[in-house]
């Protein structure tokens, strides 16, 4: 009975853990690495065909984004998640695949002109569509017999519609252990969704620590503060540009803006237009308007029963086509533009930033976590200019960090979550999904409250029956993203780096091979190193 750590280990994206029990391998999430966390998304640290089950805590891409790659590389098992997560994941993975295809097409146009080899997308829309073939769903509170000796129960994590904390009750050779995976723990008092629910007993806990080093800024009224930003900006003739994740955060913003309009809180341009510029957001909003029994909070339920449309109001426009998106930047009238992606690393938001960052009358409002290495974090850190689409863009717009809208629990609420496991404390707590500066420190905070805890490293293996680490992990060197205009490495050097990444992945996959094969492999590598000793 072993637990393998394959992602979000002292970083905040790429969540992936593997429980090995009774000869079965069960993944808990299989997310995409993003921003500074990206090492090599194309190289899974295990054989996809050897995975028997995947449990998905929620639909966000940093928890689900490599599942199409898993299918592409031979996974033929079963995927279990909640009903709403399955619906949201379907559209999100297709959108992610479209981005992968578009990125590969863009790179290949440049590669062909430069005489370089073409690249393949990480996965295709066809791979993403195949994921649904393997999905089965469950509801909160339901106990699912996953396989021999393994039962799964989900409760509401309060992070995103359908998000779940999961408890696995596992029996091997007559020994039973319970393991709780927190998933992403939600903030309290969010619109639409419920506050996080709690488990109270477990032998082992794997918990997130995204905001383990800080608390959210207390906001007296979300609607009042957002209305003030909109009122001031539109009154100056500028645009309010809001980078937002298409699923979850965009719907929360529409919920608040409906309240702002209902209460006439914006005086400068009371009939202001709001443009949601993301086809994915439109698809997600349709799901948010569907059958949400068992998922909504009390206030949202009351609105639904009263016949109020939570996300509809005068002046709302959902754009789909590229031409519609471009026309927003040709229209001089002040407006609110909500567009993906939330961290500004891809999507239509980059075009809106290009046309608004240089305008002192405009405002860019961040409403979610910005991972280190992303354009969003660069702007929040006070960049005076950024390079986009080969052009230097001055940053003169007002940059606002609207922390009150975070969908993650802050430090105090994370501590409250783990304190629910008292007086019978878990045998051990694994702290994941936090930066290198955050996860180990938060593990110490938990230890100071009487828990046994540590922040595991990538590829670490822990024996749950023996309660000890049996294989040490390591902290990968993050892939450094060069800004546009950085000096280019030679094609030969790039090829060497690609092969080095492939070699590192091969070494990780070689674990468990017989000693003779490993010795031959090592000897071959030694000869290469001796030959090219620069």
Summarised one tens digit per residue, pLDDT across range 332-365 is 999 999 998 777 877 889 999 999 999 999 999 9
Question: Out of 14-18, 64-68, 174-178, 347-351, which region has the weakest mean confidence (pLDDT)?
Answer: 347-351
**Does 476 map to a domain?**
no
User: Among candidates 275, 281, 247, which has minimal Cα distance to 355?
Assistant: 275
CATH code for the domain in which residue 319 is found: 3.40.50.10890
Residues 197 and 258 in one domain: no
Domain boundary among 348, 366, 401: 401
Residues 6+ apart with CB under 8 A from 15: 7, 8, 28, 29, 30, 31, 57, 62, 63, 432, 433
Question: Out of 120-134, 369-383, 385-399, which region has the weakest mean confidence (pLDDT)?
Answer: 369-383
Residues 331 and 389 in one domain: yes
Whether the pLDDT of residue 2 is over 70: the answer is: yes
pLDDT band at 403 (very low <50, low <70, confident <90, very high): low
Residues 369 and 419 in one domain: no
Residues 130 and 145 in one domain: yes
Residues 391 and 497 in one domain: no
**Does 517 map to a domain?**
yes
Q: Which secondary-structure segment (H or E) carries 62?
A: helix 61-64
**Does 478 map to a domain?**
no
Burial class (CB in 10 A: 0-12, 13-18, 19+), 529: exposed
**Does 416 map to a domain?**
yes
Domain boundary among 401, 429, 446: 401
Number of domains in the chain: 3
SS3 239: coil
Name the average pLDDT for the chain: 89
Within 307-425, where are the H helices? 322-328, 349-356, 375-380, 411-419
Full residue range of the structural domain in which residue 295 is found: 222-401
**Does 477 map to a domain?**
no
Residues 34 and 182 in one domain: yes
Whether the pLDDT of residue 286 is over 90: the answer is: no
The answer to whether residues 476 and 436 touch, using CB atoms and an 8 Å cutoff, is no
Residues 332 and 361 in one domain: yes
Summarised one tens digit per residue, pLDDT across range 59-108 is 999 999 999 999 999 999 999 999 999 999 999 999 889 889 988 898 89
* pLDDT score at 310: 75
Task: Using the CB atoms, write b or e for 113-149: b if 16+ within 10 Å.
Answer: eeeeeeeebbbbbebbebbeebbebbebeeebebbeb
Domain boundary among 377, 401, 425: 401
Residues 258 and 369 in one domain: yes
Summarised one tens digit per residue, pLDDT across range 478-515 is 665 443 433 344 556 656 766 776 687 678 677 777 88
CATH code for the domain in which residue 159 is found: 3.60.15.10
Residues 231 and 95 in one domain: no
**Does 424 map to a domain?**
yes
**Does 480 map to a domain?**
no
Residues 100 and 142 in one domain: yes
Residues 174 and 243 in one domain: no
Residues 52 and 86 in one domain: yes
**Does 332 map to a domain?**
yes
């Amino acid at each position: 009975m072993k637990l393998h750590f394959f992602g979000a280990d002292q970083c905040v994206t790429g969540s992936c853990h593997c429980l090995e029990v009774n000869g079965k391998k069960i993944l808990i999430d299989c997310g995409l690495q993003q921003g500074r966390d990206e090492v090599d998304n194309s190289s899974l640290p295990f054989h996809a065909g050897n995975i028997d089950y995947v449990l998905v805590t929620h639909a966000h891409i940093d928890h689900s984004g490599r599942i199409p790659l898993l299918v592409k590389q031979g996974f033929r098992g079963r995927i279990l998640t909640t009903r709403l997560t399955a619906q949201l994941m379907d559209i999100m993975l297709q959108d992610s695949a479209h981005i992968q295809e578009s990125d590969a097409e863009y790179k290949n146009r440049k590669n062909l002109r430069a005489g370089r080899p073409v690249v393949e997308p990480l996965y295709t829309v066809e791979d993403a569509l195949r994921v649904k073939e393997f999905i089965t769903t469950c509801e909160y509170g339901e106990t699912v017999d996953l396989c021999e000796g393994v039962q799964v129960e989900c409760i509401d994590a309060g992070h995103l519609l359908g998000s779940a904390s999961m408890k696995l009750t596992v029996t091997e050779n007559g020994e039973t252990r319970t393991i709780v995976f927190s998933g992403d723990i939600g903030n309290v008092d969010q619109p639409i969704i419920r506050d996080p629910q709690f488990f109270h007993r477990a032998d082992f806990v794997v918990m997130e620590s995204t905001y383990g080093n800080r608390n959210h800024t207390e906001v007296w009224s979300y609607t009042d503060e957002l209305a003030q930003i909109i009122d001031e900006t539109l009154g100056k003739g500028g645009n309010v540009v809001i980078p937002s994740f298409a699923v979850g955060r965009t719907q929360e913003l529409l919920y608040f803006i409906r309240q702002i309009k209902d209460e006439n809180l914006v005086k400068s341009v009371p009939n202001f237009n709001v443009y949601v510029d993301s086809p994915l957001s439109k698809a997600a909003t349709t799901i948010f308007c569907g059958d949400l029994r068992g998922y909504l909070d009390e206030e949202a339920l009351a609105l639904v029963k009263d016949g109020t449309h939570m996300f509809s109001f005068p002046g709302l426009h959902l754009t789909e086509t590229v031409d519609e998106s471009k026309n927003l930047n040709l229209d001089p009238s002040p407006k609110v533009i909500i567009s993906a992606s939330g961290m500004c690393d891809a999507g239509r938001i980059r075009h809106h930033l290009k046309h608004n960052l240089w305008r002192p009358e405009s405002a860019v409002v961040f409403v979610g976590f910005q991972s280190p290495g992303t354009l969003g974090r660069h702007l929040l850190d006070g960049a005076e200019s950024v390079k986009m689409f080969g052009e230097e863009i001055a940053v003169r717009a007002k940059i606002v960090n609207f922390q009150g809208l975070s969908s993650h629990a802050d430090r105090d609420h994370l501590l409250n979550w783990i304190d629910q496991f008292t007086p019978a404390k878990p045998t051990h707590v694994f702290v994941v999904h936090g930066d290198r500066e955050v996860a180990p420190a938060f593990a110490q905070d938990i230890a100071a409250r009487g828990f046994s805890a540590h922040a595991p490293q990538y590829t670490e293996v822990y024996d749950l029956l023996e309660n000890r680490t049996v294989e040490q992990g390591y902290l990968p060197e993050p892939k450094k993203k060069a800004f546009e205009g950085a000096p280019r490495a030679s094609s030969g050097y790039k090829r060497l780096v690609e092969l080095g990444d492939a070699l590192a992945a091969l070494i990780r996959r070689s674990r468990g091979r017989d000693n003779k094969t490993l010795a031959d492999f090592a000897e071959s590598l030694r000869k290469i190193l001796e030959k090219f000793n620069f």
